[in-house]
Amino acid sequence: MLLKWKSLSVIHPQHCKEIFLLQGNFQKIISRFESSSPAAHTSLYNLHTAHKGKMVNFGGFQLPVQYGNDGIAASHRHTRAHCSLFDVSHMLQTEITGKDSISFFETLCTTDIEGLPEDRGALSLFTSPSGGILDDLMVSKTSQGYLYVVSNAGRRDHDKNLMLKAQEKFRSEGKDVSITFREPTERALLAIQGPEAQKALQQFVDFDLGTLYFMRTRVSKISGIEGCRVTRCGYTGEDGFEISVPANASIAIAHDLLQSPTIPVHLAGLGARDTLRLEAGLCLYGNDIDENTTPVSAGLTWTIGKRRRQTKDFPGADKILDEIKNKPQKVRVGLLSEGRGPPARHGATIVLNNTTVGTVTSGCPSPSLGSNIAMGYVNSDLSSPGTKLQVKIRDTLLNVVVSKLPFVESKYYIPKKSKK
């Protein structure tokens, strides 16, 4: 069982139903990624257990769903109001070097990496020859001469094999490329997210964070530790940073952040991370996107660079570009519940006039909105905001309305456009 429900008895009764629903939703997600093999520990494992983290095997790593008696909803709200610290060391961190590193990586993904300025990152996709999404990832073109890639833990083995096979092919053609996987025993990855994240982190870095905009990255000292990388990004819709640090310094850096004298930085687990990303309209691989969904149907066409559309040299280009021109049959939408009832879960049927028109891929009660939200795929002609539909939950039809994404406004730190 995922959690010991007796721990909920200390929570205020009015929140018990909401927390139960949130944890039930996360149980569904855990079951899709939980491994039967022994789980590895990240370098922050002792910190999690010291703070009474409720640990689960997620993507092959022991990670906290929540901490102590703090509910997922309370942790979620704290992140939106202040900031929280997440251990995301289970993600696969990769460095790619060599004079052919850019052309190498562009054979696998959709991004115009050649056109990226130095120390700039982008969301990208590994795609298949048939146009499906193999994984979503972050790729940054660093001024140190390598590509820095962060991809999903649940696709760790797949992504490693994909890159290594491509490396072997490139090298057989006499090209210069080298891949280094930075394992969690070597590099930890922490995410500090929320409106007060900059204030919390600023006191420990050696440069002005106000100069680092969304999707920018740079090397910095953190708490006096050399060789850390700070990237302004995240998975919550809030302003925030992901910091890659030496694993042996990760607990000390986390302690410094948590003991900030001015900002209430709290630890947050996988449960809050999931509800935050869903409110932000962000995809979870294996739920909202997979090998059977295309970038166009998933609403991720913007990840395909203009030059890449012209060169048509990424995997599945013909299929994907045809969908851009002619539109896909189904598209990802947001769904907002109307009235009371349980939240729609992954796999729930979306209905119009007793006819199935789509499927829910993610859903939960929204701590910020106070109502149930979901994402799913519906027929393209039913994707306009305001379209009335229903979802089938345990043989009951509940009313929903198609909603614009994100559900909660994103607050990324983006340069203001100068007035002309």
Binding-site residue numbers are 242
Distance CA 360, CA 389 (A): 12
Distance CA 128, CA 292 (A): 10
In 3D, which of 394, 353, 392 has the Cα closest to residue 376?
Answer: 392
Distance CA 211, CA 223 (A): 19
SS3 state at 24: helix
Exposed (0-12), middle (13-18) or buried (19+): which is 274, by Cβ within 10 Å? buried
Cβ 267 vs Cβ 225: under 8 Å: no
| Triad 138, 301, 348: Cα angle to 5° | 90
Quote the radius of gyration of the chain (alpha carbons, Å): 21
* Residue list for the binding site for substrate: 242
Q: Which are the contacts of 133, defined by CB distance < 8 A and separation ≥ 6? A: 125, 126, 127, 285, 289, 290, 291, 293, 294, 295, 298, 300
